[in-house]
Each structure stands twice: as C-alpha cells, then as structure tokens.
Chain A
C-alpha cells in the first residue's frame, strides 16, 4: 500500500482491483489507525471492526472470482452517526437513543454497500446534528486535526475530522444549515451539500425535514464527486427524493471553468472582518479567473436575515420531528407515575441542553398566538432569500462566498453564548433555505495555519458545475498534499 494513509479513494480501488493490495489489508490498516488516533481525536463513536472486515472479505472474494467490482470497492468510509446502519448502533450522539440498533440500512448505506465501500464505523456529531462545533455531542468533544484545541466544526465534525486526519479517505455527513460545509472548511477538506431532493434521506434521522440533505466529504473535490455519484438518485422511500437524472460528477471535474460566470457578493466580501478569510477567497477568485471564468458582482440583500429565518424554521421542524422520542418504542425510557410523566422525564434526561433549547424555541414559534409572527413570517422571508438567488443566477452560474466568517474557533469559545454560535453560520444558511446545491472546498491557510473554506452555490440540481469549479479552486489554492499539523 503506497502513501498510506493519504491515498485517494481512486488509488485504493485501483490497488484492490489490480491485486497489489487486498481489501482486508487496507481495512486492517485503517482500522488500526482509527483505533490508535481516536483517543486523541474522538471522531468515531463506534468502530465496526467486525463489519468492516466482513465487507472487505466480500470485496476480496468478488475480486478473486473475477466479478465486476463497484466504484468504491475496498474503499474505507466513515459515516455520521445519524445514518441508520443495520445491526450497528446509531446514537445521534444522544443519550435518548441509548444503544439503539437499527433493523435497517439507510438508502445511502445500501448504495455504499452495493458500491463495495467498507464502512469503518460511525462518527461523532452534535446531538441530533444540532450545532456548529461538535461540542453538543453527549459523548465527547471532537478535536480539529490542524490544531487540537480548535473545534472541528459541526455538526458533521467527526466525519470531517476522520477524513482530514487520514482515518478514512471518504466520509458522509448530513447538512441542514451548513453541517457538512462548515466542518469541511474548518478541517481543510471538501464537502458537497447536494440540492434538496438529490439524495434520499431514507434512514437519516430527521432534524429539519425541509432542509436536511446527506452530503459527501473527502480530501479532494474529485473523491467527493465520486461519492456523490454513488449516493445520488431517486428513491421512492423518501417522498422528497427528486425523480430526475443524476449528473456525471467525476467527469465534470475535468471540464474547467472557461466562460463560467462567478457571482461575487461584493458587499459581503468587503464586510469580512477576517483578513485571512478575505485573502483566501480572493486567491480562489484569481484561480477561477485565470482558468477562464469571469467575475460578476451580485448581491443577496436578504441573506443577513438567514440566521433568524433558519433558527425559526429549523427549530420548528425539529420540535415536531423530535416528538417521536418519547421512551416508548426504542431508546431510553425513564419511568414516571403515568404516561405523561414517562414522556417528560425521558425527554428531560435524554436530550442535552442545545437540543432542549431548540425544541423549546421551535415549540414557541409554532405555538398559538406566535405562529404568524414567527414561523409564518420566517417562511415569507425565506421566499425573499430564494428570490435573491433567482435574481443572482440571471447574471451568474455560481455564487461565491467564504464558507465561514473565520477559520476554526477554539473549543469552548462560543459554548456559553448560543446566539454567538448561530451567527457563525451566516454564509451556509442562505443556500440551505433556498434548497440549492453548494460545495465547500479549501482555498488556503490562515496565518496561524488553519484551513479556510470557499463556498460555491449553484442552482437546483446543477452539482456538476460545483465539481468543475471546485476542482479549479483546488488546483489553484487548495490543500491537497498539505497534512494537518497537529498529527505530527
């Protein structure tokens, strides 16, 4: 195995298919690395030693029998622990799910198994995917592999950390308001938030159903594109799954950006406080221009309201979705005098502070007398945010912003002020509210050596253009080949 643990998914598959390495050998090596580094990083909640070796053995048997191998044959992958895996505990990093073992696989998990991927285990997250730093996990804080005292981002922080630290070449996360893009930016990797409806959520534990999407994460744009190719497509078990042709995402990586119109949200860029982030975005824009893209000024006048709109809509939907956790059918039960007390005790003990806060906010926004003033108003402003993009896409093909206002903040820095934490999501929320496709890919390092993420946003179902543009940014100012310093 050459270049372990930094080989790409493509290299691993070639080695396994060509016989220069067995899937078992690859899997053993990654399992050993995960087991050695997890005490330091806490990115895995469960390492599925047995399941991973069984999947690898199956790939090796198929190869020996001369069968066709899937596009991810023998490639290790880490899954966010809100994706249901048959027979492997799925916790959502919450006490309320206890030792819940799903009796079924999520759609994306089925797709991965069919592609020959080897699932190493389940990754840490903010409880029920609610958070931007992974500090809302009820198990442990994940550490950023570039600086261990920094947050890995959230909520897919475990997945981002695992890919960035070379514990797996690929990972899956879920994104409701930035939960694959923001940790990807903090950890120096690439993540794609597909268009709402592009990837089936069957088997993803629901947080906010009008926003949730599952997204690929990897150290390169091309690998993330390959993973998107494997998971995208229609599935009738998710009523919001779009019945339309998927793209050629890997092929799109080689199309270049000649003639591409890149929308620059100038007032927003000029308003950035962090000089390193501004410099990273400028470097990415130069790289795109050098390869033949043209820059156009666009504006998103209502984007500044995205934090209010998102934290009303997402919490309202969450309060409804999380009503199912009542201690009756699965997970934790704290017995009370009667049924109602059983519910309230179970939920009070089973949910952590941030989840309780969001359920409260959402319940309030939906409650009698406040529905029109909060929830309905937020849905109306959401229309204005969507219209901003409609207007922008009349003059450009992708909209470019940073992924986050700053590089990774310190662990503990924002935990005492929930609003402060929410405000850091300002760039990733608008495309989520509009249901658009988005990518975050690295565009340099800060002066203190922390990754900076660039976000590109495309119209619905146009993920291909994100792969093309992301590849150019990666070639111009990306971090492929850079290794997280804190692991040395």
Chain B
C-alpha cells in the first residue's frame, strides 16, 4: 500500500480501485486509502520506530513530511522551553561541594544509626539497673559497691522468711509479758496475792493487750 508511489501508473490505478473498495467497506482510514502514513505510523515516526516501507513513502511524500513536522512541533517546543527553564534555574543553583558529598540516603542512614545507638544505650542502662536489683543481692553487696549493697539490704527486708517472723513474735510476746509482770500492783506490793492474780490478768488483758503478732502485723 505504501509502495504505491513507486509503482507504475496503471498498477497504481488498480491499487487505488482496490483501496477505494476497502475504504467503502470501512476497513481503511482516509490516510491509508490515500497511501499516506496512518496516525500510528506517524507516532512510529516520532518515536523512531518507523518500518522501512513507510519510511520510504515518507521520503517521497511532502504531505506526510509536513504532517510529521507538525506533529513534532509541540514536542520540540516543549524540549526547547523546558531546557531554557532548566538552564536558568541551574545558573543560580550552587555546585555541590565534595566535602559535603553525602547523599540524602547516607544522611538518613546516619540518623538511623544515631537513633539505634541511643536506643541500645538506653536498653543497656535499663537492663543494668534491673540486673543489679535482682541478681547481685545474693552474690554479695560489698563487691557490687555501695549502691548495689543498699539495694541488696532493701531486697532482704522486703521478703522475710516465716521462721524469722515467728522468732520475732516470740521475742515480742516475752517482752510484753515481762513488762506486764513488772508493772502489776502485786509486784509493787499494793494488793493481795488473789487480787494480784485478778489484776495481773485484767492488766495484761486490758492495759497491755497482747497483739496478734502474725505476719500481717509485721508487714504493716
């Protein structure tokens, strides 16, 4: 079809007849029917992918050359104007210095590294305090320094054993009984022995009531 320009006139007339028949059947566009480049071929030409046969037609057809030039004009205008704009902007921009030759990616990386280092340092400090509070009390506070020894002693107060509580209760009960006996009227020689017995009992129960020295009272 595109070789029509290079074919003898009699053959051209035959081809034109066929083309008009095809066109009548709706198979071809007007350009194709006339043997000129189609819109797709025009795009191919602008893209730089025109086949040999249309290229040969283009070389011989002033109409198609003009169409290609018209189609390429806005693109060329855009290229020229945008380059002029970029040259103007570039003329006022500073040249990047090699000393500051760190890309945005590297800057992001350095920030990330700094944040990660801070996070690790915080983690180490937190873990150090926790470890000192839990583990070093049993291993001996003196070796761990004054701060850690203090933590160790406070840890032992926080958790007394049952045996220790019962010993303390026994001791307190003994002291209470001795105090009650030394302050009674009988011990001071003021009442008889029977009354002394009554007063001792009431005094022991009334003035110095024995506390229930269980684990709860110790904890309070």
A and B interact: no
Q: Which residues from chain B sit less than 8 Å from chain A, CB to CB?
A: none
Q: Which residues from chain A sit less than 8 Å from chain B, CB to CB?
A: none
